[in-house]
Structure 1
């Protein structure tokens, strides 16, 4: 049952991530453009150049704020990562070979002794 719930949550997170891939790309591009604009703003010597870079920067900030749905996609991606990590850890615990050492598997040995 746990695997089914993890699979269902993973599928939902994947679909949300897939639906928000466009805004995530645009947000990343606008953050990159803001970095370039900031560097050019700092290099500009004239007041007109600084005003031009500032106006362009405000335009790009507007584009970045319009793509804040990308945060939902980032959260879905992180959730998908956590689900994958939980899936791997639960399958890792189930696939461990059982040891014959009674001290490692004390509960199993005790249950077998009580059955007799």
Structure 2
């Protein structure tokens, strides 16, 4: 039953990601424009170029922030990733190394006993 729920959640999240693919690409483009604005703003020396690249930066930020479907797509991508990681249902074991600390040794011995 757990795998069925994970499969349903994964399928729904994948459909949401695919429907928001265009807005995700738009968010990537606006993030690239924002990055270029920051990069060239810091490199420019003249006031005119600083104003121009500051304007480019603000426009990139505004288009990125107003792209709400892309943020929904990012949350759906995180859901797909979570389903992918939890599909096996195995918990990762922590590796305990040898130590003089009695509590660490107790944890190691307890893990050996309970296996």
Same fold by TM-score greater than 0.5: yes
3-state SS of 1:89 partner: coil
Match of 1:17 in 2: 17
The TM-score, its normalising length taken from structure 2, stands at 0.69
CA-based RMSD: 2.1
- Kept in 2: contact 1:27–1:68 (CA 8 A): no
Q: Distance in 2 between matches of 1:73 and 1:61?
A: 18
Measure how far apart 1:27 and its partner are. Answer: 1.2
Aligned residue runs from structure 1 range 1-116, under 5 A: 1-89=1-89
Q: How many equivalent pairs are there?
A: 93
1-side partners of 2:75 and 2:3: how far apart?
Answer: 21
Cross-structure match for 1:98: none
| Change over 3 Å in CA distance of 1:104–1:32 after alignment to 2 | same
Report the alpha carbon displacement of residue 29 of structure 1 after superposing the two structures with TM: 1.8
Question: Which ranges of structure 1 fall in alignment gaps of 5 or more residues?
Answer: 91-102, 106-116
| Cα distance in 2 for residues equivalent to 1:66 and 1:29 | 13
TM-score of the two chains, using structure 1 as the length reference? 0.69
For residue 104 of structure 1, report the CA deviation from its aligned partner.
7.9
The runs of at least 4 aligned residues of structure 1 exceeding 2 Å deviation read none
